[in-house]
Amino acid sequence: MSKIFDFLGNHALAGDLGYKQGILRRSRSPPMDTPTLQALIDSHGAALQLLARQWCDAPEDAVQEALIELLQQQPVPRTPAAWLYTVVRRRAMNLARAESRRRKHQRDAGLARSAWFVPDSTAEDTTAECQTALAGLPRQEREIVILRIWGEQTFAQIADVVQLPLSTVHRRYHTALASLESSLLCPQTSRPES
């Protein structure tokens, strides 16, 4: 508070003591009480979420951030409902920008991902078929195969990583290898990804 008064005291327009005391009185207004906040949420909550949903995929987050900011406002806005709509819209727009950046980053990272297989110039090129067959495995089986073959992990280490019993990891690894062999020998019978 003293920093504000120091700043104001250095400016001719703000040198009036009454002006400083007015700022002090306004800054000490009581925070929003619980019944008023609950009434705002009850009467405007659904509409606030609907507004936020027009901008982002996480409207509840935008509304929650705005409500938290409302509780921190000193003094409380004159028209809290109008203030909330404005802030919810801004928070939703910020979330939409963040979602867009995250999707772009993930898309770019996916495109920059190196191939799972290194082509062998002496052998027939089956890289695409192998990648397709591996991608066709259920997620957990694919994860176990990758950890075992490319990660060179033991079955005990894999069991710790995927949090499954050792026997289940061993069984799923052999099931995955059989599925891969079947997919590569008869591509039309490959299993869909789950």
Assess whether pLDDT exceeds 90 at residue 170. Answer: yes
Contact 76, 32 (CB under 8 A): yes
> Residue 123's pLDDT is what?
58
Assess whether pLDDT exceeds 80 at residue 85. Answer: yes
Give the predicted TM-score (pTM) of the model. Answer: 0.45
> Residue 128's pLDDT is what?
79
> Which spans in the chain are helix H?
2-9, 17-27, 34-53, 59-72, 80-112, 127-135, 139-149, 155-162, 166-185
How would you class 178 by CB atoms within 10 Å of its CB: exposed for 0-12, middle for 13-18, buried for 19 or more?
exposed
Contact 122, 114 (CB under 8 A): no
- Average pLDDT value for residue range 7-33: 50
> Residue 21's pLDDT is what?
47
From the list 88, 85, 81, the residue with the least C-alpha distance to 37 is 81
**Any idea which of 18-22, 34-38, 62-66, 80-84 has the lowest mean pLDDT?**
18-22
Q: Please tell me which residue, 128 or 190, carries the higher pLDDT value.
A: 128
Q: Please tell me which residue, 160 or 16, carries the higher pLDDT value.
A: 160
For residue 59, give both structure tokens.
């409207």
- Average pLDDT value for residue range 91-111: 89
Half-sphere exposure at residue 1, Cβ-oriented, CA atoms within 13 angstroms: 10
Assess whether pLDDT exceeds 70 at residue 154. Answer: yes
Contact 24, 1 (CB under 8 A): yes
Q: Please tell me which residue, 116 or 45, carries the higher pLDDT value.
A: 45
User: Crossing angle, helix 155-162 and helix 139-149, to 10 degrees?
Assistant: 140
Contact 191, 136 (CB under 8 A): yes
